[in-house]
């Protein structure tokens, strides 16, 4: 009996360790309405939990990427590319009746079965869902051109307001004027991967302009591997030590 208990305990510890290896440790931000939990998942995919509600951002990676997380109450999608819009992952998740906030270009590519669940936002438009104000922010490449990987107006970054905190999700963008003019951002997730968005130098320069309290480099895998996010942190904190740059291994599962 004693041996059986030991084996059971060992199995439990092994499973717990395996699960821990699959999940990046979440962070918690205090708000006026309770904790906001930030859960990095992979690349441009993350989950936010607040006031009993869970938001999936650009869900990719299949259902297994979300093991241990609550089912979504809201889904945000930023752009049409496969690392942001993944219908197979949406099909694998419990998304029945869940509202998806999307730009029109994403709405046009989603299967018909999801059309009734969509709330389309243009750049600059806002909506309140599950008690959270959501504003669509432009995301695009510079210089602007018709053949850019990300053209202005096609995709959405988002600013969410929760419990008095403002969270910015950049999506695929460079250090555009609309990002640099943001005010009172408490938490930001900013992309930095060439040739799709911007390099770490550009990202650091833009972040120093809008001065978020907490910044997570995300979406930092490019054609030549992973961006040097340690350099990003050094550049930001060399000029502004008050900005809390948080480095997480978004590619630990891959």
Q: What is the pLDDT of residues 74-105, one digit of tens each?
A: 999 999 998 999 999 999 999 999 999 999 99
What's the pTM?
Answer: 0.90
| Structure confidence at residue 149 (pLDDT) | 86
Question: What average pLDDT does range 183-207 have in this prediction?
Answer: 96
- CA within 13 Å, CB half, 216: 25
| Structure confidence at residue 23 (pLDDT) | 67
Please, which residues bridge with residue 209 across strands?
Answer: none
Please, which residues bridge with residue 34 across strands?
Answer: 31
| Structure confidence at residue 13 (pLDDT) | 36
Residue 108 has pLDDT above 80, yes or no: yes
Residue pair 39/46 in contact (Cβ under 8 Å)? The answer is yes
- What is the Cα–Cα distance from 77 to 86, expressed in whole angstroms? 10
Residue pair 78/159 in contact (Cβ under 8 Å)? The answer is no
Q: Enumerate domains of the chain plus CATH numbers.
A: 22-245 (3.60.15.10)
SS3 per residue for the chain = CHHHHHHHHHHHHHHHHHHHHHCCCCEEEEECCEEEEEEEEECCEEEEEECCEEEEECCCCCHHHHCCCCCCCEEECCCCCCCCCCHHHHHHCCCCCCEEEECHHHHHHCCHHHHHHEEECCCCCEEEECCEEEEEEEECCCCCCCCCCCCCCCEEEEEEEECCEEEEECCCCCCCHHHHCCCCCCEEEEECCCCCCCCHHHHHHHHHHHCCCEEEEECCEECCEECCHHHHHHHHHHHCCCCEECCCCCCCCC
Kindly give, in sequence order, each residue whose CB lies less than 8 Å from that of residue 175, ignoring residues fewer than 6 positions away: 142, 198, 202, 203, 205, 206, 209
Q: Report residue 64: phi and psi, to 5°.
A: -65, -25
Beta-strand pair 214-218/53-57: unpaired
Q: What's the start-to-end Cα distance of the chain, in Å? A: 40
Residue 40 has pLDDT above 90, yes or no: yes
Best CA proximity match to 101, nearest among 80, 137, 72, 127: 127
Write out the two tokens for 61. Answer: 């990676």
> Which pLDDT band holds residue 182 (cuts at 50, 70, 90)?
very high
pLDDT tens-digit series, residues 12-26: 433 333 343 346 899
């Amino acid at each position: 009996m004693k041996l059986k208990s030991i084996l059971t305990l060992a199995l439990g510890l092994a499973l717990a360790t395996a699960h821990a290896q699959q999940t990046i440790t979440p962070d918690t931000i205090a708000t006026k309405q309770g904790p906001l939990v930030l859960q990095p998942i992979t690349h441009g995919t993350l989950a936010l939990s607040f006031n009993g509600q869970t938001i999936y951002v650009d869900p990719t990676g299949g259902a297994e990427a979300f093991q241990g997380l609550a089912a979504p109450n809201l889904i945000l999608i930023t752009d049409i590319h496969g690392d942001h819009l993944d219908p197979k992952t949406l099909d694998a998740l419990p998304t029945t009746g869940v509202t998806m906030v999307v730009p029109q270009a994403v709405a046009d590519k989603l299967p018909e079965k999801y059309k009734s669940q969509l709330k389309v936002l243009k750049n600059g438009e806002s909506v309140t869902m599950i008690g959270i104000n959501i504003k669509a922010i432009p995301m695009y490449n510079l210089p602007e051109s018709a053949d850019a990987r990300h053209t202005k107006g096609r995709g959405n970054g988002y600013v969410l307001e929760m419990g008095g905190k403002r969270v910015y999700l950049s999506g695929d963008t460079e250090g555009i004027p609309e990002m640099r003019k943001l005010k009172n951002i408490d938490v930001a997730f900013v992309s930095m991967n060439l040739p799709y968005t911007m390099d770490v130098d550009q990202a650091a320069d833009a972040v120093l302009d809008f001065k978020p309290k907490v910044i997570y480099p995300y979406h930092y895998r490019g054609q030549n591997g992973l961006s040097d996010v340690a350099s990003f942190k050094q550049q930001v904190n060399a000029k502004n030590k008050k900005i809390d740059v948080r480095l997480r291994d978004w590619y630990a599962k891959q």
